């Protein structure tokens, strides 16, 4: 089994996704503050630059910015979506200037942080500069107007059957990869810039062969640099296709769907409840994991999600990774949707899992509850949660999209979440087996019927070194019959309770050799 190179910063990466609107939101919290309000002294980008040392101290290694480009005006929805861009080489004035954006990159690099930008290869705003200068870059609807996918009526779909569009997009990527030069202390003729891209809906473009061409070309232009191309992509097969075309990493949609289909929230207590959603049976891409659940419980479904990429890895000459998350800008907040137990357990699993770049959204480290704003300053959103009443009845409630920030209540609670993530990040960064090691599943001897099992147990192996991990994804404590034999070693994280019981929603990590 191949392992990741220890010199690969992507293998050791931990992503912090920044929505500038929410990170730098400084609206008055009450009328007294509004009365004393003064004009903002710094832009969101300048504010972000000042906060980079804090993110560095927490342990993040990759700063990921939502699209920083000017937001389209034609057909704009609400306050305008960052995913509707009208110029891929300029900066949205709401966030600051291009000079300030490059200052963020310089400061991040000085702190040894990597930076990736979000971009939409599938589409632009309907008033992108190309609409006037290069209308041939776009897919046309039957009436000759610019076509758009889904309900994205503020966008226009790009046409990758056009060689000129392909060249133009490669140059856009290179613009940011080469945005720093001699004025930044580099030798004459050498360039530097951001370290890669998160590629929105990368599997949606109308000719995926573009990725074979573009990724190879960009690496040829920057032969001495390790670049990261992270695809937003849905479906195991789609991810494998993009890996074969040169993509480094992709979203692990199956991991997130386990959260979505496994967890509901007790309407009375707010606690996490494990209940398989009826929607799971209607998602064809989830059938393999659903079958695993039916045979071996939630534990087996999680084990299948971990191992499907591990088993596929030998097909490719270079390492490939999945971004695993409970929160991102599209999906809403895991703490709100899945309750504190499910949120805690699945984040632990992400940080312990193989071939993974763990992914945190701005504010998650303090128990954020609202989805950062995309289209509106404040509105209900469809990324709500399942609630379960005392009588067992289930219903759904909406989430909240808010330009500001709503966090878990109470100073001590918020600090506890911060400590939780700080400990997980430190564990992953100081344990090479977790970043570079292979993985194999282990039967912990969970004392429960097969379909009710919730403890996923696995080894992380690097050479002769072995770390054993177990995560209880369920709401009940579980006795592990094989624990005395399996966990004789040096404890790194968590602990078993009396009678070799793993507490609900907890993790255990032990170094065996």
User: Tens digits of per-residue pLDDT, 255-278?
Assistant: 999 999 999 999 999 999 999 999
Where b means 16+ CB within 10 Å and e means fewer, 281-317 reads: eebeebeebbebbeebbbbbbbbbbbbbbbeebeeee
Place of tokens 């290069």: 134
Neighbours of 170 (CB within 10 A): 17
- Strand runs labelled E in 49-171: 62-65, 114-119, 123-125, 155-157
Instruction: Give residue 344's pLDDT.
Output: 98
- Answer for the pair 13, 228: CB distance below 8 angstroms, yes or no: yes
Q: How many helices (H) and strands (E) does the chain have?
A: 14, 22
Residue 18: name the closest of 64, 54, 58 by CA: 64
- Answer for the pair 441, 457: CB distance below 8 angstroms, yes or no: yes
Strands 272-274 and 263-266, how do they pair? antiparallel
Domain for residue 402, yes or no? no
Domain for residue 81, yes or no? yes
Question: 329: pLDDT confidence band, cut at 50, 70 and 90?
Answer: very high
Domain for residue 268, yes or no? no
Helix axes 236-244, 287-312, angle to 10 degrees: 20
Domain for residue 54, yes or no? yes
Domain for residue 361, yes or no? no
Alpha helices (runs of H) in 154-273, residue ranges in sequence order: 163-177, 209-221, 236-244, 253-262
Domain for residue 172, yes or no? yes
Give the bridge partners for 459, in sequence order: 440, 468
- Answer for the pair 13, 350: CB distance below 8 angstroms, yes or no: no
C-alpha radius of gyration, the chain, whole number? 23
The model's pLDDT over 331-358, given as tens digits with 9 standing for 90+, comes to 989 999 999 999 999 999 999 999 999 9
How confident is the model over 45-55, as a mean pLDDT?
96
Structural domains in the chain (count): 1
How confident is the model over 393-404, as a mean pLDDT?
94
DSSP-derived 3-state class of residue 327:
coil
- Answer for the pair 401, 381: CB distance below 8 angstroms, yes or no: yes
CATH number at residue 4: 3.20.20.80
DSSP-derived 3-state class of residue 459:
strand
Residue 358: name the closest of 118, 67, 62 by CA: 62
Domain for residue 106, yes or no? yes
The model's pLDDT over 171-184, given as tens digits with 9 standing for 90+, comes to 999 999 999 977 77
Instruction: Give residue 7's pLDDT.
Output: 63
The model's pLDDT over 445-490, given as tens digits with 9 standing for 90+, comes to 999 999 999 999 999 999 999 999 999 999 999 999 999 999 999 9
Contacts of 486 (CB under 8 A, 6+ apart): 442, 444, 445, 457, 468, 480
* DSSP secondary structure of 307-326: HHHHHHGGGSSS--EEEE-S
The model's pLDDT over 115-166, given as tens digits with 9 standing for 90+, comes to 999 999 999 999 999 999 999 999 999 999 999 999 999 999 999 999 999 9
Residue 486: name the closest of 511, 503, 505, 462 by CA: 511
- Answer for the pair 339, 273: CB distance below 8 angstroms, yes or no: yes
Pair of tokens at residue 376:
């509106």
Contacts of 185 (CB under 8 A, 6+ apart): none
Place of tokens 């793993």: 502
- Answer for the pair 458, 465: CB distance below 8 angstroms, yes or no: no
Instruction: Give residue 183's pLDDT.
Output: 73
**How far is Cα 88 from Cα 165, in angstroms, rounded to an integer?**
13
| Domain that residue 123 falls in | 1-29+48-226+237-249
Domain for residue 206, yes or no? yes
The model's pLDDT over 203-251, given as tens digits with 9 standing for 90+, comes to 999 999 999 999 999 999 999 999 999 999 999 999 999 999 999 999 9
Instruction: Give residue 5's pLDDT.
Output: 45
**How far is Cα 69 from Cα 84, in angstroms, rounded to an integer?**
9
* DSSP secondary structure of 72-96: P-TT--TT--TTSBS-TTS--TTT-
**How far is Cα 47 from Cα 57, in angstroms, rounded to an integer?**
17
């Amino acid at each position: 089994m191949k392992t990741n190179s220890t010199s690969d910063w992507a293998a050791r990466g931990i992503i912090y996704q920044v929505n500038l609107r929410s990170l730098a939101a400084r609206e008055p919290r009450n009328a007294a503050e509004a009365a004393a309000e003064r004009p903002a002294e710094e832009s969101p980008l300048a504010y972000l630059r000042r906060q980079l040392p804090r993110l560095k101290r927490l342990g993040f290694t990759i700063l990921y910015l939502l699209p920083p480009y000017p937001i389209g005006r034609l057909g704009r929805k609400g306050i305008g979506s960052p995913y509707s861009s009208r110029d891929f080489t300029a900066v949205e004035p709401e966030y600051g200037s291009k000079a300030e954006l490059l200052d963020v990159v310089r400061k991040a690099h000085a702190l040894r942080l990597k930076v990736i930008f979000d971009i939409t290869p599938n589409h632009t705003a309907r008033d992108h500069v190309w609409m006037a200068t290069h209308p041939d870059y776009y897919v046309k609807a039957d009436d000759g107007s610019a076509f758009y996918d889904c309900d994205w009526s503020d966008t226009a779909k790009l046409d990758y059957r056009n060689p000129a569009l392909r060249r133009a997009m490669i140059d856009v990527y290179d613009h940011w990869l080469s945005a720093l030069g001699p004025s930044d202390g580099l030798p004459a003729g050498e360039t530097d810039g951001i370290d890669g891209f998160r590629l929105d809906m990368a599997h949606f473009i109308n000719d995926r062969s573009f990725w074979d061409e573009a990724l190879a070309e960009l690496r040829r232009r920057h032969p001495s640099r390790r670049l990261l191309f992270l695809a937003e992509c849905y479906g195991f097969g789609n991810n494998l296709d993009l890996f074969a075309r040169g993509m480094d990493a992709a979203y692990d949609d199956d991991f997130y769907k386990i959260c979505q289909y496994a967890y509901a929230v007790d309407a009375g207590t707010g606690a996490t409840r494990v209940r398989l959603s009826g929607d799971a049976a209607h998602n064809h891409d989830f059938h393999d994991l659903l079958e695993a659940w039916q045979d071996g419980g939630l534990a087996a479904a999680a084990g299948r999600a971990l191992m499907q990429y591990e088993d596929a890895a030998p097909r490719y000459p270079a390492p490939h990774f999945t971004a695993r998350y409970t929160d991102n800008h599209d999906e809403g907040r895991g703490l709100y949707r899945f309750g504190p137990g499910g949120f805690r357990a699945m984040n632990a699993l992400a940080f312990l899992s193989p071939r993974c770049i763990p992914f945190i959204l701005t504010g998650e480290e303090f128990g954020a509850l609202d989805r950062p704003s995309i289209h509106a300053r404040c509105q209900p959103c469809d990324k709500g949660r399942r609630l379960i009443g005392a009588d067992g009845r289930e219903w759904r409630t909406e989430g909240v999209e808010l330009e500001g920030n709503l966090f878990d209540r109470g100073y001590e609670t918020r600090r506890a979440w911060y400590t939780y993530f700080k400990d997980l990040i430190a564990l992953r960064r100081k344990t090479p087996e977790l970043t570079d090691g292979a993985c194999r599943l282990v039967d912990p001897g969970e004392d429960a019927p097969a379909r009710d099992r919730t403890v996923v147990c696995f080894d992380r192996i690097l050479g002769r070194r072995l770390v054993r991990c177990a995560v209880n994804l369920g709401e009940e404590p579980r006795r592990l019959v094989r624990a005395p034999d399996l966990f004789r070693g040096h404890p790194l994280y968590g602990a078993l309770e009396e009678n070799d019981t793993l507490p609900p929603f907890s993790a255990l990590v032990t170094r065996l050799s």
